Amino acid sequence: MEKKIVLLPGDGIGKEIMESAKKVLAAIESEYHHRFILQECAIGGDALDRYGVPLPDDTLHACNEADAVLLGSVGGPKWDNQPPKFRPEKGLLGIRKGLGLFANLRPVKTFPPLLHASPLKEEIVKDSDMMIVRELTGGLYFGEPSERRNNGEDVVDTLAYSRHEIERIVEKGFESAQIRNKHLTSVDKANVLESSRVWREIVNEKAVDYPDVEVEHLLVDAAAMKLITNPSGFDVVVTENLFGDILSDEASVLTGSLGMLPSASVRTDGLGMYEPVHGSAPDIAGKGIANPIGMILSTALMLEYSLGMQEEAKAIESAVMDCLEQGYHTADLKIKDGKQMSTDEITEAIIENLTTKCISDSICSSYV
C-alpha cells in the first residue's frame, strides 16, 4: 500500500520522538512492503521561527491532502511571552480546528511489566483500561471573547458549545462504549456550569439510542478523585475539552509516565492526526532521554484507524510490550531494575522486537 503521511515534529522533544516514529515507519515499510510518502511540515514555535506564524497555510493544506498526520508536540519557554495569536499552542489548536478533528481518543491501559512503576499501589492500577473521549475543537480553548480588559484589571475566557458539537462527541462516546465494555461515564460540572447542564441533558437524550450502554454521570472533581482511587471502574469517559485535557494527564500516572500515552484526533471521514498526550517537555529537551513510546503507540493508532493496517499496528504494540517485558525503559519510568535507555536505544530495541517478531511469526509474508 502507498500512503501519504504529513509529519509535524514541532518543538522540544517533539522533534526527538518524531525521529523514533520515522524509524518505526521505515521498519513497517520494509517488513510489510508498504510505501509511506512522508512530508515534513512546520508547526508551533518551529513555524513561528521560520515563517512568523504558528500554523502556516502550507502546513494546513498538506495535512488536508494527506491520508494521516503525525504530530510531536509544540511549545516552550522561548515563545511563552508572545502575544496570544503568536503562541505555538495556537498552531496546535488551529490545526485541530482547521482539520475538523473534533474527537480526541486517549486510550489509557496499564502495561503489566510497568505496574510497579506507577506511584499508585499495584492492586489499584492493575486492571485499568479506559478510553477517554475528549471534545477537541470547542469549549474554553476556542471561545470568544478571550481577552484582557481595562488595562489588564479584568480578564475573560469563554466556554461555548453548540448542541451539534456536544451531540457528535457524545455519540462518539457511546459508539466507543458499544465496541468496548458498554459503560459510559460522562464527566461534567453540572452543579455549577450551564454548559454542563446542557451536556448532561444531551447525554440523557442520546442514551435512548444506545440501550446496551450503561450511563453514569460524574462531576469532574469527583471523577479526578475516582480516577486514581478506582481507575478500573472506568470504561469510556466522555467529556469536554478542558476536563479531558486535565483528566488524561492525570490518568497517565496509572501507566507510570505521561510519556507512555498515545492519542488519536479524528473526524468522521477517516482522516486523523496522531499525537502523544504529553507536551514538548522543555526540562528534558535536547538530552536524548525522552520516552518515545507515546509517539510510537500513536503511530500504531494511525496505522490502525486511518491507514487500515491493523496487523501492522498490532505488531508495533506487541514490540513495545516485549521491550517493556525485557526490562528496557527510559528515565521517566521509575524502575529499580531493568535497563535504562536513551530515546534512540529504546527505539532500536522496539524495532529489533518488531523485525524479529515479523520473521519468526511470518506474519509479514501475507502482505508481500
Ligand X SMILES: CC(C)CC(=O)C(=O)O
Q: Which residues are annotated as a binding site?
A: 76-89, 96, 106, 134, 221, 245, 249, 279-291
Catalytic residue among 189, 210, 305, 322: 189
| 93 contributes a contact to ligand X by CB under 6 A | yes
CB distance 68 to 271 below 8 Å: yes
Q: Which stretch binds ligand NAI (CB under 6 A): 47-55, 70-78, 140-148, 230-238?
A: 70-78
Which of the stretches 3-11, 49-57, 88-96, 195-203 binds ligand X when contact is defined by CB under 6 A?
88-96
Contacts with 196 (C-beta within 8 Å, 6 or more apart), sequence order: 188, 189, 190, 240
d(Cα 205, Cα 87) in Å, to the nearest integer? Answer: 39
Q: What is the DSSP letter of 24?
A: H
Which helix (DSSP H) or strand (DSSP E) does residue 35 occupy?
strand 35-40
Closest residue by Cα to residue 108 from 78, 130, 88:
130
Q: Indicate whether 235 belongs to the interface with ligand X (CB under 6 A).
A: no
Asked whether position 108 contacts ligand X by CB under 6 A, the answer is no
- In the chain, alpha helices (H): 13-32, 44-51, 57-65, 88-98, 122-125, 163-179, 194-207, 220-229, 241-251, 293-305, 310-325, 343-361
Q: Is position 3 annotated as part of the catalytic site?
A: no
Size of interface with ligand NAI, in residues (CB under 6 A): 21
Alpha-carbon span 306 to 311, nearest angstrom: 13
Q: Is 141 a catalytic residue?
A: yes
Site string for ligand X, 258-287 (x = CB under 6 A): -------------------x----------
Q: Annotated binding site for Mg(2+): which residue ranges?
A: 221, 245, 249
Active site residue 337: no
Nearer to Mg ion, 218 or 251 (CB): 251
CB 327 to ligand X: min, Å = 30
| CA gap 282, 84 in Å, rounded | 20
**Is residue 107 a contact point for ligand NAI (CB under 6 A)?**
no
Catalytic residue among 51, 249, 314, 344: 249
Alpha-carbon distance of 305 to 70, in angstroms, equals: 13
Please give the residue ranges that form the binding site for Mg ion (CB under 5 A). Answer: 245
Binding site for ligand NAI (CB under 6 A): 13, 73-76, 89, 92, 258-259, 275, 278-284, 290-291, 294, 332
